[in-house]
Structure 1
């Protein structure tokens, strides 16, 4: 069977564990072909982010047109978007393309707290990108920012917030609960028809750099082969769990290391 063409739109990570580099690795590891649009040049490593240079929105749009005018794209993942102008350009172009699957990773902060979006850009993301998304994948902090409320403290809070997030306009919400203080990592899927709990055991490791990027790009890669989000999420989470478990085989950086994207290959 011919591989699917998956598009990722995101910022860079020169250390290779997150951002567009991690997306490309994830898509490739899951046996699809990756096209990529860069929204920002980021100086970061496993320890911290040092600097960010958002690209001009016109250049981002030119990249996007270059790919979409030539390559048949089956699914798209959106990560770091840079600023409001870029968000509007991406939203308009993707809406014109009418892709059947758009996965939006609502990334706003790095794991060490470095801001990736301004307050104004977050409002633009809510108004322009969330409504065209097939699914959004916020963590607990991102959910609280999107809803302007406190961070969920328990799964009951997650359920309440997940339902509110769905009203922002995406067709589905996967609210990630990995930062809850319990032994499991509960995630909740919300659509207009179903609410479904997923969980996996927490792994005692520091190698979690880029897990949000990789989960969302895995979903974008896997979903075109499945009729429903439940099966796609199960497969994506199983792959991610294996990538985290096998991350100990790598030795990358002095901080939070990357997952092992190619653990099934080498």
Structure 2
């Protein structure tokens, strides 16, 4: 009888760019961790999740939110960090004060290199997702720990206790958000009126970068903010500097919006086409 051939282990020479999404689950698949994982896969990164809450929602709105215990969230984060490792973190919906504090503690303990915080407070449908006390905790606990925050104009107005923010107020609004503790601020201009949109990035050294582009006519915008913050986290994990990561993240989302503009899925705000230009999983040196 022939002896079995012993298996030879292949020594590892590379690894994946590892991105962790700490966010809520969207049963409709268009936003939250579902959008994050689709974005990460499309950009060639290895996506992982720590789920904060489970929502019952679709393209028309959020029906209910079921929070997961903060202790379970902490265990999810620790499990993936201790075994797989994390190159960048995207943070989405954090529904209560206890969850915010768990995430802040995890960032401090694990010393994540890149943290992109999307302060998700209002869904595309208009549904409010968190309370005022949670917003206050988010600002005090997480803004100083983030690499970048990415509020839309409605969220920025809520954070600054303003009725609205117009095109002429973007600079001042970004500066006020930075004064709350965020090192860098990306103000997303999708809620500006008119055919032209402006996104503004305020950097830690007070430099400002702007991107202007024509509005893409589509109702399929569900998950745009989730996808953008995830795309930025991916590019940071892959080694891009912040301005480059934001620019490349914007390019991905605009491509996904254009590719999905004429699609029909559901009866409300449909999703982006995350798979419009998929990339093979990237290999990084060990």
Common fold, TM-score beyond 0.5?
yes
Aligned to 1:12: 25
Aligned to 2:183: 171
CA distance in 2: counterparts of 1:177 and 1:249, whole angstroms? 22
Q: What are structure 1's unaligned runs of at least 5 residues?
A: none
Q: 2:254 aligns with which of 234, 241, 250?
A: 241
Matched residue count: 265
* Pairing 1:122-137 to 2, within 5 Å after superposition: 122-137=135-150
* Pairing 1:146-225 to 2, within 5 Å after superposition: 146-154=159-167, 156-193=168-205, 194-225=207-238
Aligned to 1:65: 78
* Pairing 1:110-121 to 2, within 5 Å after superposition: 110-121=123-134
CA distance in 2: counterparts of 1:250 and 1:141, whole angstroms? 26
Pairwise CA RMSD of aligned residues?
A: 1.4
Between 177-186 and 11-20, report the one with greater CA deviation. Answer: 177-186
* Secondary structure at 1:16 match in 2: coil
Aligned to 1:40: 53
Give the C-alpha shift of residue 265 in structure 1: 3.8
Q: 1:29 aligns with which of 21, 38, 42?
A: 42
Between 7-16 and 250-259, report the one with greater CA deviation. Answer: 250-259
Give the C-alpha shift of residue 115 in structure 1: 1.4
Give the C-alpha shift of residue 227 in structure 1: 4.7
* Pairing 1:138-153 to 2, within 5 Å after superposition: 138-153=151-166
Structure of higher CA gyration radius? 2
Q: 1:229 aligns with which of 242, 245, 255?
A: 242
Q: What are structure 2's unaligned runs of at least 5 residues?
A: 1-13, 280-286
Aligned to 2:282: none
Give the C-alpha shift of residue 234 in structure 1: 1.2
* Displaced runs of 4 or more, over 4 A: none
Give the C-alpha shift of residue 226 in structure 1: 4.2
CA distance in 1: counterparts of 2:50 and 2:71, whole angstroms? 12
- Residues 99, 114 of structure 1: alpha-carbon distance in 2 compared, 3 angstrom cutoff: same
Q: Is the 1:8–1:76 Cα contact (8 Å) retained in structure 2?
A: yes
- Residues 72, 48 of structure 1: alpha-carbon distance in 2 compared, 3 angstrom cutoff: same
Give the TM-score normalised by the residue count of structure 1. 0.96
* Secondary structure at 2:15 match in 1: coil
Q: Is the 2:217–2:261 Cα contact (8 Å) retained in structure 1?
A: no
Q: Is the 1:135–1:174 Cα contact (8 Å) retained in structure 2?
A: yes
